[in-house]
Amino acid sequence: MPLWMSLLALASVSGQFATAPKPVISLQPPWTTAFQGESVLLTCNEFPINSPRETTWFYQNQGSQTSSTTPGNTRVVQETGKYQCQHNGSSLSGSVHLIFSSAALILQAPLSVFEGDTMVLRCLRRPGSALKTTTIYKNWEAQVPLRDGSDFRVHGAMLRDNGQYHCKADNESCCSVVSNTVEIQVQELFPHPQLTASPSQPTDGSPVNLTCETRLPPQRSDVQLQFCFFREGQALGSGCSSSPELQILAMRSEDTGSYWCQAQTVTLSVSKKSLRSYIHVRRAVPSVQIHTRPPQGSVFEGQELVLVCSVRGVPGPISVSWYRRSKVRVATEIALSRDAEFRIPTVKSSDAGKYYCEANSIPSTEVTIHMRVPVSHPVLTLSPPGSRATEGDVMTLRCEAQRGSLPILYRFFHEDALLKEIKATSWRKSSFRLPLTAEHSGSYYCTADNGLGPQHSAAVTLSVRVPVSHPVLTLSPPGAQAPEGDEMTLRCEAHRGSLPIQFRFFHEDALLKEIKATSWRESSFRLPLTAEHSGNYYCTADNGLGPQRSAAVTLSVIVPVSRPVLTLRAPGAQALVGDTVELHCEAQTGSPPILYRFYHNGVTLGSSSAPSGGGVSFNLSLTAEHSGNYSCEADNVLGAQRSEVMPLSVTVPASRPVLTLRAPGAQALVGDTVELHCKAQTGSPPILYRFYHDGVTLGNNSAPSGGGVSFNLSLTEEHSGNYSCEADNGVGTQRSEVVTLSITGLTGSRGGHVATGVTGVLLSLVGLAAVLLLFYYWLPGRAGGRPACDASSSSSHSDPQEPTYHNVPAWLEMQPVYSNVNPKGGDVVYSEVCHVQGRNKRAAAPTARLPEDKDSSVIYSQVKVYTPGSRSQLSASSAPHR
């Protein structure tokens, strides 16, 4: 086996053609040897040509190895050594050995020489060296001397130009100088081609492709090659061509022989032949076969029927005849190709039968044509019949064709989607059972197909009704409570169930609303709430397959409280201190619980809750402070309402009044004006005061806004006696203590019947004395004096319940005061007159004129003892006698 074949085989086996090709280094200038100091540009070429972004260079010299990366694919070098390059992802290039020589004479050779190239060797003297007449040596045999130039050229390099070359130059003075030796290895431009035949062992009449295969090195892939094919020394086809393939349409057995091919450059500089291949064209075994189009089992009436007679291995020209049954010739023709056809454009049922063909009297086997009947339109039936069914039912779908040859493929479709496929071989019908779900509503049809395409049935519509599920009743806004007047939306919704659905809403088992839902499985309506809408709600859903009922939802409608009414219930017509008044507050409407609050003059008195309706009461034990305005408030979750204001006035009964007599002097004299002052300390106005003298009414006076009243009396002798007053404010009268007035200067026997003349003199004398007294007592009073009643001698101080007035207001300072006293535990009443004792010296002067005034400041005018008769009048104010 030649070397190239094994190389080619190796390359094929190792798959090098498929991997990334090695890059190849080229040189500029193109020599592998240069003088020291010169530079060589290395280019790392990739095939097919590529412009890499960067190149990695490997450099090796005397055992040391370095690598460097340059942008692009070039690098300038000046160092002796081995160079290799690699692009990112590519394989490593072959190595290039460069020599930068210090010798005086070098032989420069190119990196590679291919067959047919012009090989140039350059013998170069170092500039300045005195060398002349150089000679090239191949394998130490002198070649032609290089005369003018230094180049040695070989045109059309061949393998025989391989060898070791050097050159020699003469040194003028003495000896000759020898250059370096260069080994030239001329490389194959392409290996010898290989001829392949496909198929390699053709039969008679079959086509054959011949291929002439060789390969150019990557760096010479631009070289144009021609290919020529030969059989037994004779060129095949129309001479050489650039295609490495030759197609032979029909090989004959005579074409058996020795074949070879030749690959050559266009310039014919290189030309190589393949080995000879012996191609044996086998003689074919005669075979005549018949088949039909369409295939024999699916021939339908009315179709075109083609009988095909396939002839192999029968030498031509071939005459083909077709026969029906036994020897009835149908047609004969001269076959132009190996498959002869006979057409029956419209086949009839009478054309059924057995057929065969003959080629050059060689018969084929028989083919039997059965005439198939096309299937008729099938009919789809559902059972149980009817267009409506309920979910869960099992429906039988049956598809049946009246006519048509078996087998028939039945297909069932639901909404154009294939549901089931059944091949019927015994009957012209098929059926299957379908358990129905809601999704099975829709349109159904079936198709029947026995070879001529599907025949469609009419569509059948089925509606699968789904029983309605338990509906859910929801109220919105949600919550178990809602205020009266709000609008509540009741929504009833069923998750499943065929439409239409009849929704019914019930309140306390009474039908509230009925809605038929046709598009959605829900219905709703709005209910403006009144108090009557409290209670249980539910809804039902019914689509004809039985009503379903929702769970009950309880709603309580909250009624806002109305304005409450406050009533004050007192035991009598008037509210008296000490009475119990019942305050009752009640709102007519309003959802419990209601919290009632009571207010007095805007201040909270208390509160009470009515958990289940009705009003609440609040009892108040009256004191004087309870007069004023009352109101109450009713409050439930929806807010509070305040009642109208109810005024209450608490009547305080008048206390026992105190009667005070004021005389201008220390003694009451006839003609004096005595002022009777009556005052009750407490008591609601108006108070009517009545004054009594010895039980007889003297007069009355009203104090409309509280306080006491006065009554003036111009004294006559009849005015001696017992005085009292009464306070009356409508809730009982109170009588004061009795004050006894004795008029000085008159004998008790006169009894008021005094002659005016005598009385007048007497009175004037007495009056003068009184005025003088007044004068003396008034002045010290102005100066800050105080009444000097002897407390120890007066029993009036012992009773704190009945205050006396001798210590109070200003008029006491200037006047003697007659006041009623109430001796403890006795019927004796002291009437005392206190006079103001001056502290200054002026008090001494009257003392001289009125010697009786010296010893005592208190005058006990009279001691009175109550008779039983008089007690009855004064019982209210007197204590029993001891």
Ligand X SMILES: *[C@@H]1O[C@H](CO)[C@@H](O)[C@H](O)[C@H]1NC(C)=O
Nearer to ligand X, 458 or 863 (CB): 863
Pairing of strands 417-424, 429-435: unpaired
Structure tokens at 810: 């200003």
How far apart are CB 131 and ligand X at their closest, in Å? 6
Contacts (Cβ under 8 Å, ≥6 apart) of 378:
399, 400, 401, 410, 446, 447, 448, 455, 456, 457
DSSP-assigned letter for residue 868: H
Nearer to ligand X, 468 or 616 (CB): 616
Nearer to ligand X, 300 or 596 (CB): 596
How far apart are CB 618 and ligand X at their closest, in Å? 6
Question: What is d(CA 838, CA 840) in angstroms, rounded to the nearest whole number?
Answer: 6
The DSSP secondary structure of 615-644, one letter per residue, reads -EEEEEE--GGG-EEEEEEEEETTEEEE--
Nearer to ligand X, 414 or 735 (CB): 735
How far apart are CB 866 and ligand X at their closest, in Å? 4
Nearer to ligand X, 474 or 870 (CB): 870
Nearer to ligand X, 361 or 867 (CB): 867
Contact assessment for residue 719 and residue 713, using Cβ atoms and an 8 Å cutoff: yes
Nearer to ligand X, 777 or 866 (CB): 866
- Respond yes or no on whether the N-terminal peptide bond of residue 317 is cis (omega within 30° of 0): yes
Contacts (Cβ under 8 Å, ≥6 apart) of 125:
104, 105, 131, 134, 150, 169
Nearer to ligand X, 142 or 865 (CB): 865
How far apart are CB 310 and ligand X at their closest, in Å? 19
How far apart are CB 1 and ligand X at their closest, in Å? 26
How far apart are CB 199 and ligand X at their closest, in Å? 6
Task: Tell me which residues touch ligand X (CB under 6 A).
Answer: 88-89, 104, 129, 171, 173-174, 177, 198, 207, 209, 247, 580, 582, 601, 617, 619, 628-629, 645, 647, 673, 675, 688, 694, 699-700, 710, 712, 721-722, 740, 864-867, 870
Q: Give bridge partners of residue 71 from the DSSP assignment.
A: 54
Contacts (Cβ under 8 Å, ≥6 apart) of 220:
114, 189
How far apart are CB 784 and ligand X at their closest, in Å? 23
How far apart are CB 740 and ligand X at their closest, in Å? 6
Nearer to ligand X, 89 or 477 (CB): 89
How far apart are CB 732 and ligand X at their closest, in Å? 15
The DSSP secondary structure of 6-46, one letter per residue, reads HHHHHHHHHTTTTSPPPPEEEEES-BSEEETT--EEEEEE-
Question: What is d(CA 45, CA 47) in angstroms, rounded to the nearest whole number?
Answer: 7
Nearer to ligand X, 340 or 688 (CB): 688
By C-alpha distance, which of 416, 451, 412 is closest to 429?
A: 412
How far apart are CB 59 and ligand X at their closest, in Å? 18
Nearer to ligand X, 277 or 870 (CB): 870
Nearer to ligand X, 6 or 673 (CB): 673
282-285 long-range contacts (CB < 8 A, ≥24 apart) are: 282/201, 282/202, 282/203, 282/204, 282/253, 283/203, 283/204, 283/253, 283/313, 284/203, 284/204, 284/205, 284/312, 284/313, 284/314, 285/312, 285/313
Instruction: Find where tokens 């005015």 sit.
Output: 719
Nearer to ligand X, 538 or 866 (CB): 866
Structure tokens at 424: 């019927």
Identity at 183, one-letter amino acid code? E
Give burial (CB, 10 Å; 0-12/13-18/19+) of 876: middle
How far apart are CB 23 and ligand X at their closest, in Å? 15
How far apart are CB 743 and ligand X at their closest, in Å? 12
Structure tokens at 878: 């007197």
Q: Percentages helix, strand, coil for the chain, rounded to the nearest 5?
A: 10, 50, 40
How far apart are CB 440 and ligand X at their closest, in Å? 55
Question: What is d(CA 492, CA 295) in angstroms, rounded to the nearest whole number?
Answer: 65
Contact assessment for residue 411 and residue 378, using Cβ atoms and an 8 Å cutoff: no
> 761 in helix, strand or coil?
helix
